[in-house]
Amino acid sequence: MKTIVLGLLVIAFQIGLAQNIAYIETDKIIEKMPSYQQATEEIESQIKIWESEVEAKFKKVEDLYQDYVKNETLFPDEIKQEKQEEIIDAEKQAKEFREQKFGQDGDLQLLQESKLKSLQDTILHTAQRIGIEKSYDYIFEKSPETNWIYTNPEHDLTELVIVELGLNK
């Protein structure tokens, strides 16, 4: 029985050693892509536009509130109620607009996906092609979010992907 278990362990160990594994660092590759620079500039430009629109909407809320506070004693109860509702409505619209632009699944996320997804796909397809050509069993993405304790640089395909994409200039 011990011989069978030992034999299975030896076979499992040999199979594990037979796997050819590599990794890429997408962040390093994408930073070298001119189209990435252009995309991030376009995204940053749009963010500034949206931020100024959000600021303008909240400025309007603040102005309405300041006007209300300044003139509150002059308003009859009916006008006070209307002004309060106007302030509340303007604040609600400003918050909704901010959420629409910067919230989860908002316009910013959609813009980033539309501008950057094709670049990421290009990198992944190139890495996949290299993996097939070089007979790798697995290619992993090494990113700051993952916990890699040690990676052997000889298994890093990042520079090879950069060369294949013509970005090594």
For residue 111, the model assigns a pLDDT of 95
CA distances to 23, 54, 129, 151, 157 from 133, in Å? 15, 50, 6, 22, 12
Helix axis angle for 107-133 and 34-71, nearest 10°, is: 160
Gap between the Cα atoms of 127 and 136, Å rounded? 10
pLDDT band at 113 (very low <50, low <70, confident <90, very high): very high
Range of the domain at 102: 17-164
Residue 160 has pLDDT above 90, yes or no: no
Q: 2 in a domain, yes or no?
A: no
User: How many domains does the chain fold into?
Assistant: 1
Model confidence pLDDT, tens digit, residues 49-85: 999 999 999 999 999 999 999 998 998 999 999 999 9
Give me the chain's average pLDDT, please: 87
For residue 7, the model assigns a pLDDT of 52
Q: 5 in a domain, yes or no?
A: no
pLDDT band at 121 (very low <50, low <70, confident <90, very high): very high
Helix, strand or coil, per DSSP, at residue 77: helix
Q: 10 in a domain, yes or no?
A: no
Gap between the Cα atoms of 90 and 84, Å rounded? 10
